């Protein structure tokens, strides 16, 4: 299965009763397996959890800690980037040159690297004096 198809499939499972804005994410781990995540909203936190965070959690739960590629899809006029928190999470598990594809359900795509997605990344090296 392609990352595009995996992200499209899981997007349909999103729980978005408040925003009605469904997002799907698929991550290919370094092991070659595909991990999926979708956004989940709730009444106390209507913004919900992000699709990318869900895919990363599934990857880590399976024992993988390296991202080889990311694909995110939403029904939007333009490709939707991950939120700041998800950008940091992606960067935690992916090398700067890892490919990130942001897509719309209409077929528009924007391809970038993790480094382009999150310039000025906070890393463990910032804590070297701790």
Specify binding-site residues.
39-45, 50, 83, 86
Specify binding-site residues for Zn(2+).
50, 83, 86
d(CA 23, CA 64): 23
Specify binding-site residues for substrate.
39-45
d(CA 90, CA 12): 22
Provide the CB-side half-sphere exposure for 4 (13 A, CA). Answer: 10
Q: Which of 12, 47, 52, 92 is labelled catalytic?
A: 52
> Would you call 52 a catalytic residue per the annotation?
yes
Burial of 57 (0-12, 13-18, 19+ CB in 10 A): middle
Paired sense of beta strands 67-74 and 94-104, if any = parallel
Catalytic residues: 52
């Amino acid at each position: 299965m392609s990352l595009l198809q995996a992200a499209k499939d899981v997007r349909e499972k999103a729980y978005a009763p408040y925003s009605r804005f469904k997002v799907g994410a698929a991550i290919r781990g370094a092991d070659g397996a595909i991990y999926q995540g979708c956004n989940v909203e709730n009444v106390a936190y209507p913004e919900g959890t992000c699709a990318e965070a869900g895919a990363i959690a599934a990857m880590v739960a399976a024992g993988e800690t390296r991202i080889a590629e990311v694909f995110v899809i939403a029904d939007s006029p333009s490709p939707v980037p991950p939120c700041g928190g998800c950008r940091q999470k992606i960067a935690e598990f992916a090398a700067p040159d890892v490919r990130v594809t942001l897509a719309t359900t209409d077929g528009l795509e924007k391809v970038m690297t993790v480094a382009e997605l999150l310039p000025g990344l906070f890393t463990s090296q910032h804590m070297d004096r701790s």
